[in-house]
Amino acid sequence: MSHGRDADASRLREQLARTPDDGVAWLHLAAAEGNLGRAVEAEVAARRAIALGLRAPEAHFVLARALQSQRKLDDAEREFEIVLRERPNYADAHRDYAQLMWMRSGSVERTLRRLDATLAASHYDAGLHWVRSIVLEFVGDPSAALVSAERAVACEPGDAELLMQAARLRAKAGDAGVG
């Protein structure tokens, strides 16, 4: 499967050789490099996209992930902060930010506070409830994780991933019944 990803990255590099000021193409290259595990290349491409004026939170997200992969944790944290300031409901950024906070401090309290504040303004965001559930499960609070998973399912009842998270947590709690 990485052969197709390699081909995508090569195609983007060829495109950028012709149009070096295409910030969106640089962002796509950054994402492709990151997906291939090439964090240094992903960082360079994301920084180029941002330098060209691309202000999309996705550019900072890809950069944050590349920095985190290189263990440049202070820089990664700053980039995640930009992403979450610009797009508070970015569930994937909350998830990766929680991982970073856990790596740095063994605590996710700051992440949970930020999630809770965002959820206070958007009660019906299934992605944020799902991330909250994952974080709480990871830190050993399965009952609170289940509450968050059930809230996610209430927001998007047909989402298979959310249903599986809730069912798995119910099974862990010894209650396989569907709520």
User: What residue ranges define each of the domains in the chain, with the CATH number in brackets?
Assistant: 1-87 (1.25.40.10), 106-179 (1.25.40.10)
pTM of the full structure: 0.85
Provide the pLDDT for residue 107. Answer: 87
Low-confidence residues of the chain: pLDDT under 70: 1-4, 175-179
Query: Do residues 30 and 59 make contact, with C-beta atoms less than 8 angstroms apart?
Result: yes
Provide the pLDDT for residue 25. Answer: 96
Instruction: Give one DSSP letter per residue of 6-60, joined into a string.
Output: HHHHHHHHHHHHH-TT-HHHHHHHHHHHHHTT-HHHHHHHHHHHHHTT---HHHH
Q: What are phi and psi of 176, to 5 degrees?
A: -80, 0
